[in-house]
Structure formats: structure tokens, C-alpha cells
Amino acid sequence: MNLDGATAERVRRILGSPVVRARAVTDRGYAPNQRWVVRTGAGRSAFVKVARAPLTASWLRAEHAVYSGLSAAFLPELLGWDDDGAEPLLVLEDLTDATWPPPWTRDSVDAVLRTLDEVHATPLDLPVIGTDHHAAAGWPVVAEDPGPFLSLGLCSPAWLDRALPVLLEAATPEALTGTATLHLDVRSDNLCLRGGAAVLFDWNHAALGNPQLDVAFWLPSLHAEGGPRPEDVLDLDPAMAALVAGLFAARAGLPPIPTAPRVRVVQRAQLGTALPWVVRVLDLPPPDGDPV
């Protein structure tokens, strides 16, 4: 994926020097944006992200609003922004030389937890999560149409019939609410480590809510990448495990998204650790007797 001339010119106007080298970034993020690390004739490097669709353009504008409204160590430095009304362009500092997990160590896990504590204590003007948030709809959606979830082969219909009442009761929507600043998309492709702390990217889902949510939605991907089990990282409200597992259970078995084909793959991997987690936390029988 080459950097086209029009995009290169927009970057030149922001950085004040022509782009002489551009490397496409294809191993971060799952939205259909285009990403590059560029170097200018003046020797400056930067990370560039362009939204090519209306939905992702709205997400990029939301992300830019966070960067422009706050300067903090857990944010990359904002170098520039250009919104032509159709395909907004964001330019951030280049953090290629930072540490990008996995692999995970206890020190790196603790670094993310400390950074999330800082995020949660930082006031921002953001939308407030309500009990109608999509994270509350997981197990109710599965109960209404269990086909996509069962198609994943993680349990039998009989096991689901027995477990659903417990899962529905545990996944209380009220557990979503709160006043903490949340990133709401903490995964290894959205963070790096620098100076013993985490730097977080992709703030388009940021909102105000229960601070346990950020940790809870990170833990399944952490474990899937070789990190510790969720309950070995932090003792969370059981509702968190139920809400997280429900969200992935309702989505992982749906058809692939043509513009973002890796999303279902990632959701399936996260469900693969989130479902055993909620089974252990709620003391449910292992699906069909298989070890959890």
C-alpha cells in the first residue's frame, strides 16, 4: 500500500517538509483505516492514519478530540490534523522504538494497570455509558438467537440452556456505569510501553463508566497472548467477566466483516479465554465436561 500523492501533500503541509519515505503499517488495528510511518526530508518521522469510510472517519474525529483536549503521558503526541470533510488525517509521534507486547511479563502487565489507573483518574468530557450500552446486550442476544454462538463449537445447546440463566443474571447492565474516564479498547495493538508506562492509541470508543471495564475487556486478549489468566491479574466484580464473555459470545460467530475481516478472528480468540474465565468465576460446569 503506497502513500498516494494527495495524502503525502497533506502530511507535508502538517510537518513542513516533503515525505521521502513511507512504510505501511498493517499489523495494528482492525478498522479499515490506512496507516503509515513516514519520514520527511528534514529527517522527522511520524505516524499517519487516514480514515477512508464515513464510519471510521467519525471514529477518527472522536479520537482526535481526545488528543486535542488533553496532554498526558499515556497519550502519543499530536503532531497535526487535517479534516477535508471526507477522509480526515491524523498525525502522531512515531513510537516505533517503544516496546510493543506481546510477549507479556509481569512488569509490563503492571505497567498497563498503573497507566489505566491514571487514565481513570483523568477528567475528560466524554459520553457516559448507560445500562443500554452494547456491552449489556451480549447474553440477551445469545438467548434470542444462539445459532452464531453455538456454531463456534465451544459448547453444546444443552450446556448453554443450563448456563444461560446464570450468565444473564450475572451480566448486570448497572455494572457498566460510573464516572471514570475509559479507553474501552485496550489491546496490545492499541498500546506500547515507554519508560515503564503504557501509551494508548485508538481512543474513538472513550467514554465515562466503571473503571473495571477497561481492565476486564483487556484481560481476555492478554491471556490469549500468553499472559496470565484474568483472575490472576486482578480480582474484579463477577459481572465484568459475564459482560465481557457475553459481548464476544454475541459477536464472534457472526459473518466476517468484509472491510475488517480480522475482527471476528480476534473476537473468537478473546472468547476462547473469556468463556472459561466466566465459567470459573461463576462456578459453572465446564462446557460439556471439557477442561477449562
Lookup result for grid cell 477535508 = 84
Give the domain CATH number at 237: 3.90.1200
Is-cis flag, bond preceding 102, omega within 30?
A: yes
Q: Mark whether 114 and 254 lie in a shared domain.
A: yes
Q: Which of 25, 60, 93 is the endpoint of a domain?
A: 93
Give the domain CATH number at 72: 3.30.200.20
> What is the C-alpha to C-alpha distance for residues 126 and 179, in angstroms, rounded to an integer?
10
DSSP E strands: which ranges in the chain?
19-24, 33-40, 45-51, 78-82, 89-93, 180-182, 191-194, 197-200, 207-209
> What is the C-alpha to C-alpha distance for residues 159 and 42, in angstroms, rounded to an integer?
62
pTM (2 decimals)? 0.92
Q: Mark whether 201 and 277 lie in a shared domain.
A: yes
Structural domain of residue 253, as residue ranges? Answer: 106-289
CA 208, chain centre distance (Å) = 15
Pairing verdict, β 78-82 and 89-93: antiparallel
Is-cis flag, bond preceding 286, omega within 30?
A: no
Q: Mark whether 23 and 49 lie in a shared domain.
A: yes
- Who contacts 245 (Cβ-Cβ below 8 Å, separation ≥6)? 138, 167, 220, 271, 274, 275, 277, 278
pLDDT (tens place) for every residue of the chain, 292 residues total: 588 999 999 999 999 999 999 999 977 666 668 999 999 999 999 999 999 889 999 999 999 999 999 989 999 999 999 999 999 999 999 999 999 999 999 999 999 999 999 999 999 999 999 999 888 999 999 999 999 999 999 999 999 999 999 999 999 999 999 999 999 999 999 999 999 999 999 999 999 999 999 999 999 999 999 999 999 999 999 999 999 999 999 999 999 988 788 899 999 999 999 999 999 999 999 997 444 4
> What is the C-alpha to C-alpha distance for residues 1 and 32, in angstroms, rounded to an integer?
13
User: What local confidence, expressed as pLDDT, does residue 1 receive?
Assistant: 57
On whether residue 100 sits in a domain, the answer given is no
What is the total count of domains within the chain? 2
Q: Mark whether 37 and 169 lie in a shared domain.
A: no
On whether residue 101 sits in a domain, the answer given is no
Q: Mark whether 154 and 234 lie in a shared domain.
A: yes
